[in-house]
Amino acid sequence: MEPIYITGHRNPDTDSIVASLSYAMLKNALGERAYQAARIGELSDQTEMLLKKFDFAPPTLLHTVRTQVSDLDYDTPPILSAAVSVYHAWQTIVSDTAGVPTLPVTDEDGRLYGMLTPEEIAAYDMRFIKSSRLEGIPLFNLLASLDGRLISAATEQTVLSGTLVVALPTHAGLPEIDKDSVVLCGNQPEVIRLALERQAAALIVCESEVDTSLIPKESGSCIISTPFDAYAASRLVFLAVPVSRICRKDGLVSFHLTDYLDDVRETTLKSRYRSYPILDDQDHVVGTLSRFHLLRPKRKRVVLVDHNELHQSVPGLEQAEILEIIDHHRLAEVETDAPVYVRNEPVGSTCTIITSMFFERGVMPSKKLAGLLAAAIVTDTIVFKSPTSTPVDRAMAERMAKIAGLSLDTLGREIFSVSPAEGGDLEELYFADFKQFQIAGHSLGISQITSLDTDELGKKKAEFVALMEREMEQHSYDMMLLMLTDVLKEGTLLIAVGDLDAVEHALNISFKQHAAFLPGVISRKKQIVPALSLLWG
């Protein structure tokens, strides 16, 4: 079953990570086993600490949800070994089990060797209408094609070469036979005796058993009996050649399961093959695709939590099928092809919504999951001091804390006492909780770092300003902000680059060397983004 990814936003915070984990666990607990928690960014120090505290592994790192070859309903025809006979290959192609006219050919390690179509078999067959020369036909293949019984052969003989001589009973006299002859005959003692006397390379007796009394003790000929008549046997002998001799080996175009559909379409437009082999990460052949499979591909399925904006979501979202959105932010520009389940509530944490859903569906979270949910709510509401915090957030957090046997105050102090200045370079700090916004044609990037004491980080203001100016130029932002939010001071040191006049006007502040302290401002989504939206809207 293909997974349904539950993913938060880029540069995920604790609420985003825990929301994806907990919602996947809720879905799985209700019997919907396809759901898988995912993330589209690295963990912050705070999130990593909480996952370790409550013994949870991080969600799967998801780089993109662009449609890939692995998402297609590609064909899985029989895969031929390069050693099998052309006769066996033809039987496979015309059988109902193949389902496709083109079969991949592999070497003994299962890696692509060539591609075989009826056209290659027909072209090979036509070459022998005027030729009767056989070269290096494996004896094992010959016996299989002729449904033959080996009467006699030299111990070391594994392949058969020679000029085919068909000795029919209607022929006048005996045919010309020498050591290079591969003789096909019926129950014709004179022909059999002559072929063995002259030590023909091989004797194939059709529609009859071989009279063993005719075989000398020291016969150097390969002797085979077959139930087929001479005409059928003459064609089957040629078809005993390995497919490695006739399959197309040059100019092969193949795709890997991880290749993206856009790239596959572009490549197929430049070639004219009907079918293309598909390889796994070990270059083993797993199937074939044709242009038909590209018409209506399956799309990856996703559930968005803690965001609903395209530029904050996983790359390739426009190619995916969105099934649900669970969020507590403003509704933005994400579009869907069909109606989806949306739950958007004005609360301080996405995990508050998911905690409510556990109770609504009668699923009791485990002790460690309850502790993780409580921690996520405390984190996103900044211990209920954020203006986005609601009584519902506190009620859900208290319920989870009771199950986990935790104190919310103690948990809050533990979470925000982790100094974000410790470990990691400046760029990692800035982008740990970074979000991009598009407002009325303006591109805005806002980072937020929250701790019990932001004084040490404030001393790095000049370094942050240089980093933000560089990023703004490289990625064409109109403005970049950094919120150093202090839990104890219940306010934010705002550092800005770009259109400072617009920020001053929107927030009614005055910057001094790119910085200003905003008492009571601790919410990015409810206090900073709405003010700028009003200004530019």
Report pLDDT for 424.
57
On whether residue 101 sits in a domain, the answer given is yes
Q: Are residues 62 and 75 in the same domain?
A: no
In which band, very low, low, confident or very high, does the pLDDT at 69 lie, cut at 50, 70 and 90?
A: very high
The mean pLDDT of 30-35, rounded to a whole number, is 90
- More confident position, 271 or 217: 271
On whether residue 404 sits in a domain, the answer given is yes
CATH number of the domain that 256 lies in?
3.10.580.10
Q: Are residues 83 and 173 in the same domain?
A: no
DSSP state of 524: I
Query: In sequence order, what are the residues at sequence separation of 6 or more whose Cβ sits closer than 8 angstroms to the Cβ of residue 530?
Result: none
Residues 349-372: tens digit of each pLDDT: 999 999 999 999 999 999 999 999
Q: Are residues 133 and 106 in the same domain?
A: no
Contact yes or no for 106/112 (Cβ under 8 A):
yes
Q: Are residues 311 and 457 in the same domain?
A: no
Beta strands in 108-247 (DSSP E): 112-116, 133-138, 149-152, 159-167, 181-185, 202-206, 222-226
pLDDT at 427 > cutoff 60 = yes
Q: Are residues 276 and 344 in the same domain?
A: no
Residues 258-301: tens digit of each pLDDT: 999 999 999 998 888 889 999 999 999 999 999 888 988 889 99
Residues 36-54: tens digit of each pLDDT: 999 999 998 889 999 999 9
Report pLDDT for 418.
65
Report pLDDT for 97.
61
Contact yes or no for 524/483 (Cβ under 8 A):
yes
On whether residue 229 sits in a domain, the answer given is yes
Contact yes or no for 306/388 (Cβ under 8 A):
no
In which band, very low, low, confident or very high, does the pLDDT at 221 lie, cut at 50, 70 and 90?
A: confident
In which band, very low, low, confident or very high, does the pLDDT at 342 lie, cut at 50, 70 and 90?
A: very high
Report pLDDT for 152.
84
**Mean of all residue pLDDT scores within the chain:** 90
Query: In sequence order, what are the residues at sequence separation of 6 or more whose Cβ sits closer than 8 angstroms to the Cβ of residue 18?
Result: 47, 50, 351, 372, 373, 375, 376
Between CA 306 and CA 367 the distance in angstroms is 23
Report pLDDT for 419.
58
On whether residue 277 sits in a domain, the answer given is yes
Last residue of a domain, one of 416, 441, 461: 416
Q: How many helices, marked H, and strands, marked E, lie in the chain?
A: 17, 23
pLDDT at 435 > cutoff 80 = yes
On whether residue 525 sits in a domain, the answer given is yes
Last residue of a domain, one of 396, 416, 436: 416
Q: Are residues 313 and 387 in the same domain?
A: yes
Q: Are residues 239 and 266 in the same domain?
A: no
Q: How much of the chain exceeds pLDDT 70, in percent?
A: 96
In which band, very low, low, confident or very high, does the pLDDT at 391 lie, cut at 50, 70 and 90?
A: very high
Number of domains in the chain: 4
Between CA 369 and CA 37 the distance in angstroms is 14
Report the b/e string of 359-389 with b at 16+ CB within 10 A.
eeeeeebeeebbbbbbbbbbbbbbbbbbebb
Edge-to-edge strand ranges of the sheet holding 80-81: 80-81, 103-106, 112-116
**What is the three-state SS of 205-224?**
EECCCCCHHHCCCCCCCEEE
Q: Are residues 320 and 376 in the same domain?
A: yes
Taking the complete model, does pTM exceed 0.75, yes or no? Answer: no
Six-digit token string for 480: 């970049």
Domain carrying residue 141: 125-244
Report pLDDT for 537.
63
Q: Are residues 255 and 400 in the same domain?
A: no
pLDDT at 7 > cutoff 90 = yes
Q: Are residues 133 and 176 in the same domain?
A: yes
In which band, very low, low, confident or very high, does the pLDDT at 211 lie, cut at 50, 70 and 90?
A: confident
SS3 content of the chain, % helix, strand, coil (to 5): 35, 25, 40
CATH number of the domain that 220 lies in?
3.40.1390.20
Of the ranges 334-338, 364-368, 457-461, which one carries the lowest mean pLDDT score? 334-338
On whether residue 388 sits in a domain, the answer given is yes
In which band, very low, low, confident or very high, does the pLDDT at 19 lie, cut at 50, 70 and 90?
A: very high
The mean pLDDT of 152-179, rounded to a whole number, is 80
On whether residue 421 sits in a domain, the answer given is no
Q: Are residues 290 and 311 in the same domain?
A: no
On whether residue 394 sits in a domain, the answer given is yes
Last residue of a domain, one of 365, 392, 416: 416
Q: Are residues 170 and 237 in the same domain?
A: yes
pLDDT at 26 > cutoff 70 = yes
CATH number of the domain that 434 lies in?
3.10.310.20
The Cα angle at residue 352 between residues 415 and 393, in degrees rounded to 5: 75
Residues 94-130: tens digit of each pLDDT: 876 656 778 999 999 999 999 999 888 888 887 776 6
